[in-house]
Amino acid sequence: MRKLRFSRRLFSYIIIGILGQQLAGEEKMLEYERELWDRGIGRIAGVDEVGRGCLFGDVVAAAVILPEGVVLEGVNDSKKLSEKKREALYDVIMDCAVAVGIGVVDVPTIEKINIKQAARLAMRQAVEKLTVKPDMLLVDAEKVDLPIEQMALIHGDALSQSIAAASIVAKVTRDRMCRHWDTQYPEYGIAIHKGYATAYHRERIIEFGPSPLHRKTFLKKIAYEQQVLF
């Protein structure tokens, strides 16, 4: 009986410890936001993009303004979350957000202005589509070309709840686009790898050639089995 009581007590300590770590993590994700709230800056937009490193498809960005003081359990860098968790959090974010903006830059524009500028353009579009003007932008390692006070955070989607929320919205939005593109170009397996340069994706490009949605400037840099694609 004593051993059983000890085991239950130990289990309780473990659960409390885990919950404590989760709460500490969620509070850490709000350090930048709380500092700004304390300065009277309430409307903070997190901004992030997805698809920068893909061989296929558009680059997508999101801007998200969350209510001041709100803590969203589980919100973190979208790359660390399962697809099921991202989808669930997407609904939570869309329900509680003050405003959400989405920016999309297509492949011809990416080819014309380069991917860095395309990602920045998508971010700008996302902010411009917010129905509420933000007082401050927290951006994942980039600068948004708008006259709004902003802070660029390296690995911001792992440091700021606002940026992490934008990361999730952008990722889910683009993943849904990938599933649609997969119906148009099923031979490439876009729904599986989301357009990234996996071995399978490269093999499909070698076998079938590039589709109209492949980024030709990216493919020129890839040599596969000592063969330059373009």
What CATH number does residue 121 fall under?
3.30.420.10
Clarify whether residues 115 and 48 are in a common domain.
yes
Clarify whether residues 167 and 207 are in a common domain.
no
Clarify whether residues 163 and 186 are in a common domain.
no
Clarify whether residues 119 and 198 are in a common domain.
no
Domain boundary among 139, 156, 176: 176
Question: What is the structure's pLDDT at 7?
Answer: 52
Domain count for the chain, please give it: 2
Spatial contact of 25 and 77, defined as CB atoms under 8 Å apart: no
- Whether 20 maps to a domain, the answer reads no
Query: What's the whole-model pTM score?
Result: 0.86
Clarify whether residues 188 and 89 are in a common domain.
no
Of the listed ranges 11-20, 54-63, 66-75, the one predicted with least confidence: 11-20
Clarify whether residues 132 and 198 are in a common domain.
no
Q: For residue 203, what are the domain limits?
A: 182-228
Three-state SS for 26?
helix
Q: Averaged over 35-62, what is the pLDDT?
A: 98
DSSP per residue, 34-80: HHHHHTT---EEEEEEE-TT-SBS-EEEEEEEPPTT---TT---GGG
- Whether 82 maps to a domain, the answer reads yes
